[in-house]
Amino acid sequence: MLAYRNVRRIVRRQIPIIRRRLDRQITAMVLLRIVVFICLTVPSIIYHIYAINTPVLRNTSAQYAIVRLLQIIAFSLLNLNHMSSFYVFIMSSSRFRHQ
């Protein structure tokens, strides 16, 4: 009977340690998502600001190709942001589902 109580008391003391470790992992995951979000969203915002402030003129085909390439890169990074979010949460969801 005393051994059973002692084991339960030890388990109760260990749960907060495990919980703190999981909380740190979740916090690190959220901070990583914030950094990735900012890095992958800023190019699209910069492109939009550029597109709004640039007058519509007949550019040469080389200038048009450069602007179009920048647009495609910016939007690809924006889509990569959503995909990275999906994969981060899929990889980590099974671990936190078992809490």
Q: What is the pLDDT of residues 49-99, one digit of tens each?
A: 988 888 777 778 888 888 899 999 999 999 998 888 788 777 766 655 555
Give pLDDT, residue 9. 62
Q: What DSSP designation does 54 have?
A: S
- The pLDDT of residue 24 is 74
All structural domains of the chain with their residue ranges: 2-97
Contact status, residue 84 vs residue 36, Cβ threshold 8 Å = yes
> Are 69 and 46 spatial neighbours (Cβ–Cβ below 8 Å)?
no
- The pTM of this model reads 0.67
Tens-place pLDDT, residues 15-27? 666 666 777 777 7
- Give, in order, the Cα–Cα distances in Å from 38 to each of 49, 92, 93: 16, 21, 22
> How confident is the model at residue 87, as a pLDDT?
80
**If 0-12 CB within 10 Å is exposed, 13-18 middle and 19+ buried, where does residue 74 land?**
buried
Q: Higher pLDDT residue, 11 or 22?
A: 22
Give the pLDDT band (50/70/90) at residue 12.
Answer: low
Task: State whether residue 63 is helix, strand or coil.
Answer: helix
